């Protein structure tokens, strides 16, 4: 439906910045060229049952535009979702950087943030085992700064020249076109096992980090080492970290598999619903700052993107916060057309010689031309800077600016004749940091300081809790069981032996294979001190932002339900009511209550914890409802809190639930709400295979 508002906006956008706008007040349906349309239901034909006429410009324009609605999807990170918000400086750091966003506490700039999976195509699911993209565009007064990161602090390769190989290896296999959005196949494991530099990131990929419960509950990392440069020209190295206020949380593998069947849009819906309900997700921005002297003392090279800097070695200093408070008005115009460029940088921040970063500086600009079709993609509203911008670049497809005058070159002296001379370079403009290079020899080589591929893979594994190690090994065993080439499995195991002998042994056991001899590392790994910051389960996680599923039937106790609803609201926990039918139920006092979902459409994998408010009669009836039995059995199997009203016991029995700390009769709202973010790990021994 075309509303007055959207019609007016179409006119405005068609003219764009700098153009003249002549509004004649169209408010109804028109063609793209403004001709009013009288009939949008019927094409123009000769007689009521006769042929359609070529003359029908309304039909032809409509179909022509429709035929071209799709643009090439991103080669990686095709499936994503985004939101608008703001970044606020909470700790000014002018001594470190002159970047305008960090000069004054309380200073805010708008941002657009896009989260994504990496390997899957645009129509794939939200919850595969995968790295997640975490890209933020800051619209600053000094131009756009894009921090194009991931939810893992390290990357698979050290040099951008290997990126096409990595992506080809993980994407669906070339001859058969599958598997979609999955690393569990021959070509991926073949490649990574031949490229030991990938092993550290492979550990992250096998861990719970690759199965985030929500985009709102994952960290973000700039990955590379960047530079801060202050007003005096002094430089420090910096790594960027996003830390979610919502805490960290992942799904279990069995849960992720079932979520992808129940709701392939799970993560994007989660973000949408949170923002629409006013529960705006928030992250702190932290920086790890260090200098060359410190960098020179490390066993690893800070320019190597397969390495992280443990927070215990260089603490993360919090300097700002990002709040996402507005979902886009239009998915295509904003989320799809947003173009992130690591080369979008502002004075006060600079690149380093990290060879992966250097390659990215080329790739993103290039890809936007192929995706968005024009060198003028920066004029699309979501990409345009919010500060004035002006230069001598001209023309090109889809030019929407209408610059005036003759000043299309520089230098010029047109001003001496009273004509506009156009923009000039600015004294305070961006200046690259005058870094020195090691030597002047032109070579295709990898620095010796990039040679250790195992120490940090070991650090990561050993920094995980026991439960997380179990998950990592299960992930590895699952993926290698999907690999069909035995020599590839064996090669992976040989690397695991170098990373950690116990890890290798348990993986080999899971696969039913003998342990091969260990791989021969180019450089002997060192034992680094385990880092708590690398574990998800070692962190505290709040209940606010979680989702409780309440299963209700006719006759459910209204008082108990109200207590839960009030408690949830106070705790910032979202609630969905699930009933045998979406039309709802009649509560104990006769009140009619509409449901959000029918049981079969809302399995418990979609919730962090569940409550069962049933009458005994209804509970017995639900014992014959497979979706209801699975609802309870899965919540139990996925180690979630199950609060119930006692009368639900027949259904609990039918689902094979035994009482433990996480299965209880609700007496106060806090009984359950305090446990919404918890998993009852000790239960995993009872439900082997699901957790």
Binding mask 313-342 for ligand HDD (x = CB under 6 A): -------------------------xxx--
Q: Which is nearer to ligand HDD, 305 or 622 (CB)?
A: 305
Q: Which is nearer to ligand HDD, 369 or 598 (CB)?
A: 369
Q: Which of 16, 58, 77, 235 touches ligand HDD (CB under 6 A)?
A: 77
CB of 152 vs ligand HDD, minimal distance in Å: 8
Q: CA-to-CA distance for 97 and 610, rounded, in angstroms?
A: 48
Structure tokens at 322: 């990002």
Q: CA-to-CA distance for 314 and 310, rounded, in angstroms?
A: 7
Backbone angles phi, psi at 175, to 5 degrees: -80, -35
Q: Which is nearer to ligand HDD, 156 or 636 (CB)?
A: 156
CB of 498 vs ligand HDD, minimal distance in Å: 24
Q: Which of 84, 144, 150, 236 is catalytic?
A: 150
Q: Which is nearer to ligand HDD, 308 or 556 (CB)?
A: 308
- Binding of ligand HDD by 149 (CB under 6 A): yes
Is 144 strand, coil or helix? strand
Is 57 strand, coil or helix? helix
Backbone angles phi, psi at 352, to 5 degrees: -120, 180
End-to-end CA distance of the chain: 47
- Binding of ligand HDD by 288 (CB under 6 A): no
Would you call 150 a catalytic residue per the annotation?
Answer: yes
- Binding of ligand HDD by 223 (CB under 6 A): yes
List C-alpha distances in Å: 540 to 246, 314, 408, 532, 543: 10, 21, 58, 12, 10
- Binding of ligand HDD by 511 (CB under 6 A): no
- Binding of ligand HDD by 138 (CB under 6 A): no
CB of 280 vs ligand HDD, minimal distance in Å: 20
- Binding of ligand HDD by 74 (CB under 6 A): yes
CB 253, CB 475: distance < 8 Å: yes
Number of Cα atoms under 13 Å in the Cβ half of residue 609: 29
Q: Which stretch binds ligand HDD (CB under 6 A): 146-154, 452-460, 649-657, 670-678?
A: 146-154
DSSP assignment, residue 36?
B
CB of 641 vs ligand HDD, minimal distance in Å: 34
The sign one gets for the Cα dihedral 350, 355, 360, 363 is: positive
- Binding of ligand HDD by 367 (CB under 6 A): yes
- Look at phi and psi of residue 607 and say left if phi exceeds 0, alpha if psi is from -120 to 50, else beta: beta
Q: Which is nearer to ligand HDD, 303 or 305 (CB)?
A: 305
Q: Which of 77, 185, 236, 378 is catalytic?
A: 77
Q: CA-to-CA distance for 238 and 287, rounded, in angstroms?
A: 6
Bond preceding residue 179 cis, omega within 30 of 0: yes
Q: Which is nearer to ligand HDD, 240 or 253 (CB)?
A: 240
CB 245, CB 169: distance < 8 Å: no
Q: Which stretch binds ligand HDD (CB under 6 A): 20-28, 68-76, 83-91, 660-668?
A: 68-76
Orientation angle between helical segments 186-194 and 486-499, nearest 10 degrees: 40
Name 238's bridge partners: 226, 289
- Binding of ligand HDD by 160 (CB under 6 A): yes
List C-alpha distances in Å: 376 to 14, 220, 405: 14, 29, 20
- Binding of ligand HDD by 363 (CB under 6 A): yes
**Nearest one of 354, 238, 216 to 294, comparing CA atoms:** 238
Is 430 strand, coil or helix? coil
Q: Which of 124, 150, 193, 235 touches ligand HDD (CB under 6 A)?
A: 150
- Binding of ligand HDD by 359 (CB under 6 A): yes
- Binding of ligand HDD by 135 (CB under 6 A): yes
Binding mask 402-431 for ligand HDD (x = CB under 6 A): ------------------------------
Q: Which residue is nearest to ligand HDD (CB)?
A: 133
Q: Which of 206, 211, 305, 490 touches ligand HDD (CB under 6 A)?
A: 305
CB of 562 vs ligand HDD, minimal distance in Å: 42
Is 160 strand, coil or helix? helix
Q: Which is nearer to ligand HDD, 118 or 595 (CB)?
A: 118
Structure tokens at 551: 């299963």
- Binding of ligand HDD by 163 (CB under 6 A): yes
CB 580, CB 602: distance < 8 Å: no
**Binding interface with ligand HDD (CB under 6 A):** 74-77, 80, 114, 116, 133, 135, 148-150, 155, 160, 163, 223-224, 305, 338-340, 356, 359-360, 363-364, 367
Catalytic residue positions, numbered: 77, 150
């Amino acid at each position: 439906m075309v509303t007055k508002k959207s019609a007016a906006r179409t006119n405005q956008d068609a003219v764009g910045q700098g153009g003249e706008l002549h509004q004649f007040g169209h408010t109804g349906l028109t063609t793209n060229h403004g001709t009013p349309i009288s009939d949008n239901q019927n094409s123009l034909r000769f007689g009521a049952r006769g042929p359609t006429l070529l003359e029908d410009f309304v039909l032809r324009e409509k179909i022509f535009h429709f035929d071209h609605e799709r643009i090439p999807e991103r080669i990686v990170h095709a499936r994503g979702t985004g939101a608008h918000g703001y970044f606020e400086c909470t700790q000014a750091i002018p001594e470190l950087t002159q970047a305008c966003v960090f000069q004054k506490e309380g200073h805010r700039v708008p941002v657009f943030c896009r989260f994504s999976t990496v390997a899957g195509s645009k129509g794939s699911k939200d919850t595969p085992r995968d790295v997640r993209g975490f890209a933020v565009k800051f619209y600053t007064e000094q131009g756009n700064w894009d921090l194009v990161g991931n939810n893992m602090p390290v990357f698979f390769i050290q040099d951008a020249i290997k990126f096409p190989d990595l992506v080809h290896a993980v994407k669906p296999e070339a001859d058969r076109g599958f598997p979609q959005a999955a690393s569990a196949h021959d070509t991926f494991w073949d490649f990574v096992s031949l490229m030991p530099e990938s092993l550290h990131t492979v550990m992250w990929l096998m861990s719970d980090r690759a199965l985030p419960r929500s985009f709102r509950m994952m960290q973000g990392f700039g990955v590379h080492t960047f530079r801060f440069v202050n007003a005096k020209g002094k430089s420090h190295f910096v790594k960027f970290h996003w830390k979610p206020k919502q805490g960290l949380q992942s799904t279990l593998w069995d849960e992720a598999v079932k979520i992808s069947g129940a709701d392939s849009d799970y993560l994007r819906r989660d973000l949408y619903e949170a923002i629409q309900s006013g529960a705006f997700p928030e992250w702190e921005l932290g920086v790890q700052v260090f200098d060359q002297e410190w960098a020179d003392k490390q066993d690893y090279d800070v320019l190597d993107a397969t390495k992280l800097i443990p927070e215990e070695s260089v603490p993360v200093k919090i300097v700002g916060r990002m709040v996402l408070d507005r979902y886009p008005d239009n998915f295509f115009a904003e989320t799809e057309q947003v173009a992130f460029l690591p080369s979008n940088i502002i004075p006060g921040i600079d690149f380093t010689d990290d060879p992966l970063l250097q390659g990215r500086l080329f790739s993103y600009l290039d890809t936007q031309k192929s995706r968005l079709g024009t060198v003028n993609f920066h004029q699309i509203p979501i990409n345009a800077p919010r500060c004035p911008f002006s230069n001598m670049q001209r023309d090109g497809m889809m030019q929407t600016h209408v610059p005036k005058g003759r000043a299309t070159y520089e230098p010029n002296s047109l001003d001496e004749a009273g004509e506009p001379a156009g923009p000039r370079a600015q004294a305070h403009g961006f200046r690259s940091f005058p870094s020195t290079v090691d030597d002047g020899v032109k070579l295709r080589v990898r620095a010796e300081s990039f040679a250790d591929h195992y120490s940090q893979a070991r650090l990561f594994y050993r920094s995980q809790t026991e439960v997380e190690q179990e998950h990592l090994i299960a992930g590895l065993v699952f993926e290698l069981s999907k690999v069909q080439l035995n020599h590839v499995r064996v090669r992976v195991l040989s690397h695991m032996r170098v990373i950690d002998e116990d890890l290798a042994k348990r993986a080999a056991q899971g696969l039913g294979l003998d342990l091969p001899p260990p791989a021969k590392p180019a450089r002997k790994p060192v034992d680094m001190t385990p880092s708590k910051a690398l574990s998800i389960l070692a962190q505290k996680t709040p209940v606010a932002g979680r989702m409780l599923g309440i299963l209700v039937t006719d006759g459910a106790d209204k008082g108990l339900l109200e207590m839960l609803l009030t408690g949830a609201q106070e705790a910032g926990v979202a609630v969905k009511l699930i009933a045998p039918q979406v039309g709802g139920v009649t509560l104990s006092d006769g009140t009619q209550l509409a449901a959000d979902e029918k049981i079969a459409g809302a399995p418990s994998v979609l919730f962090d914890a569940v409550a069962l408010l049933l009458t005994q009669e209804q509970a017995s009836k639900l014992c014959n409802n497979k979706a209801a039995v699975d609802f309870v059995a899965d919540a139990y199997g996925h180690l979630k809190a199950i609060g119930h009203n006692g009368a639900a016991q027949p259904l609990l029995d039918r689902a094979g639930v035994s009482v433990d700390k996480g299965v209880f009769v609700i007496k106060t709202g806090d009984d359950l709400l305090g446990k919404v973010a918890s998993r009852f790990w000790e239960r995993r021994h009872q439900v082997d295979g699901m957790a």
